[in-house]
Structure 1
Amino acid sequence: MKNAIYQALSHDCAANLAGEAFLLTQEYDHVLFLWENDPCIVIGRYQNPFSECNLQRMESEGVQLVRRQSGGGAVYHDRGNLCFTLIGNKETSSKEENFALVLEALASLGLTCELSGRNDILLNGRKISGNAFQTTSTKFCHHGTLLISSDLSVMNNYLTPSSEKLASKAVKSVSSRVGNLREGNPVITNEMMQQALIQAFEHHYGKAIHQALDFTQLSEAKENYRLFGDYSLILEKTPNFTHSFTHRFDWGETTIHIQVEKGIIKAVKMFTDALDTSVVTRAERVLQGIAYEKGAILEAQKTCEQADIASLLTVVASQL
């Protein structure tokens, strides 16, 4: 098997995500990518930065805004947080196998952790790792965070989740439900966690090529930087729509904007933290072109074989 371990020398999150995109094109059976970022907020592929972030404070305090290509919610990164990426063949890789590897690495440092909810890892009931996924035509990419010694006190300065999201988690703030690994192992460092992941990776897949790269200097990453870190692109304005509403589904919180012309739905725009990012394009395909009236939308719901889209259509119809 041809395996590789990459460690980022760069701390620019957009550059590191562009580097991850580059690694997705490389011909390895398995890749482990380890990276750390300067303070930033990373939003999911279809999230609305205006509702998720305190953009003014971020700009004044030099906190970078970055958009990743995977789904999920907004997260805060700093140098006390270790990011990891596991890339494998689409047909054979699984998040279950990846989580087993990460839990093995944590256990080797005396940390007994467990999976919970929407692909989080908990230590003593507090979230120490969030995870998200994406696939290409040939690869499965699983990336996640490991909070080691992050400054959790500043998270609420930059993240502004909706009241619905907080109510669904029965918490009053983002920081109240997260924790650092140092709460379970006071001497743990990023370097110790990196080595534990490397050992677990090679235990699962065998020896690997090791390489350290500065992705701010790699030409292939520089070419894609704007996809992740171009501020104006991330803040793309939402057009005026006839009807907008927000609802929290089992699969994620969603804000949907519907534009109607002459009684027909002409355009749909969705912002969501759903892990399955395909829900956006699938919803657009179903809704565009049908009459904007309750009966037509309920009829589409009855014939829809996609559970998440069917639930969305039910809520859309209830708004009329």
Structure 2
Amino acid sequence: MSNDAFRLEIVHSKSNNPWFNLALEEFLFNNVKKDEVILYLWQNDNTIVIGKNQNPWKECRCKEFEVIGGRIARRLSGGGAVFHDMGNLNFTFIMHRNRFEIKKQLQVIIDAVKDFGIEAEFSGRNDITVQGKKFSGNAFYYDGEKAYHHGTLLVNSDINKMVKYLQVSKEKIISKGIDSVKSRVVNLNTFSNSINVDTLKKKLQASFLNTYDCSSVEEYIADERMIDIQQLYDKYSSWKWRYGETPEFNVSLENRFPFGNVDINFSLHDGKISMVKIYSDALDYSFIDILSKQLTNTEFKKEAIQKSLNEVRSKNSVIDEIASWLVNCNDLI
């Protein structure tokens, strides 16, 4: 990590609109300077946010949720679907990659809740837990020299509503060794009467300043009237971005891996794969483009698919695992 001088920036969003808050997040990401480390704090009300490569129709009860005024949003990062309400606080660390240290960023969160007497730890792929129960899910996004790390913090969220509208697969629950989503997650106010969203914000800011040990700090309050991010807002609020195209597929194959769920869908024409659509909650989703391009125009036969996949097996271990599963799948002829 660089030891050059840098400055800290804390940005608060006054909006509870997920499309605005995600647009502002991308705006901050696009414009972060090399000498800046940004902590962005925001809240969405009555919202489900899905990962970049997820199928909303499988991840949540979309129609039922929208009937009660809920909003569906899609973020830039990978990972799984999350429920947001005003009992949940979101954070984003934004900086250039030479300063990006996941362990250090997590320490800001862990130290902040420790001030309430809560002993937390990082667990699994992307969770922060207390006594084995998750209160924070984290995801990461990289583009060129820049990176961000964002996550949720359940303070006093409506867990019943979360369970009602999120559709977590049975395979995912089993892989965690638990009986239900409800038994897996927990609100922080379960462990401390003094914690609420406002007190947690203050502790996070103090922990951020302490962890980065920087005297140069600027603080901003943002709302929808102050920041012109209309083009980004239009993207995040659009049907195309949130739901995408979900054409009829001839064959759909799904499997759970240690790195996440993979749902591969094939459209076929004249015995060949004319289109491939891959959904996944994997944090690192670089394999999606590689496999989609590689399999398009391949004959839908086990031997042809195996030959095609052999050409990209060396790209990374994730592709190797998926390739091994596909060529041994009973649904391929």
TM-score, length-scaled by structure 1:
0.94
Q: 1:26 is matched with which residue?
A: 32
Quote the offset at 1:91 in angstroms.
2.9
Q: Distance in 1 between matches of 2:14 and 2:59?
A: 29
Q: Aligned to 2:173, which of 143, 163, 166?
A: 166
Quote the offset at 1:160 in angstroms.
1.2
Q: Distance in 2 between matches of 1:215 and 1:93?
A: 29
Q: Is the 8 A contact 1:257 1:269 kept in 2?
A: yes
Q: Is the 8 A contact 2:116 2:194 kept in 1?
A: no
Q: Aligned to 2:278, which of 270, 273, 276?
A: 270
Q: Is the 8 A contact 1:156 1:175 kept in 2?
A: yes
Q: Distance in 1 between matches of 2:226 and 2:54?
A: 28
Letter of the structure 2 residue corresponding to residue 196 of structure 1: K
Quote the offset at 1:92 in angstroms.
3.1
Q: Distance in 1 between matches of 2:211 and 2:86?
A: 27
Q: Distance in 1 between matches of 2:124 and 2:89?
A: 21
Q: 1:239 is matched with which residue?
A: 247
Q: Distance in 2 between matches of 1:85 and 1:143?
A: 4
Residue deviations 1:165-210, cap 9 Å, x none?
2222233432221001111112211111111111121113213100
1:212 pairs with 2:221 = yes
Letter of the structure 2 residue corresponding to residue 272 of structure 1: S
Letter of the structure 2 residue corresponding to residue 85 of structure 1: T
SS of residue matched to 1:72: coil
1:142 pairs with 2:149 = yes
Which ranges in structure 2 are unaligned for 5 or more consecutive residues?
1-5
1:194 pairs with 2:201 = yes
Residue deviations 1:14-63, cap 9 Å, x none?
11111000111232520000111111111110111111111122122111
1:44 pairs with 2:51 = yes
Q: Is the 8 A contact 1:290 1:297 kept in 2?
A: yes
Q: 1:315 is matched with which residue?
A: 325
Quote the offset at 1:301 in angstroms.
4.1
Quote the offset at 1:240 in angstroms.
2.2
Q: How many pairs were matched up?
A: 319
Quote the offset at 1:302 in angstroms.
4.1
Letter of the structure 1 residue corresponding to residue 15 of structure 2: S
Quote the offset at 1:285 in angstroms.
2.4
Answer 1 or 2: higher relative contact order, Cα 8 Å, separation at least 6: 1
Quote the offset at 1:251 in angstroms.
1.3
What's the % identity of the aligned pairs? Answer: 34
Quote the offset at 1:216 in angstroms.
6.0
Letter of the structure 1 residue corresponding to residue 221 of structure 2: A
Which ranges in structure 1 are unaligned for 5 or more consecutive residues?
none
Q: Is the 8 A contact 2:113 2:119 kept in 1?
A: yes
Q: Aligned to 1:280, which of 265, 288, 311?
A: 288
1:105 pairs with 2:115 = no
Q: Distance in 2 between matches of 1:215 and 1:116?
A: 35
Q: 2:182 is matched with which residue?
A: 175
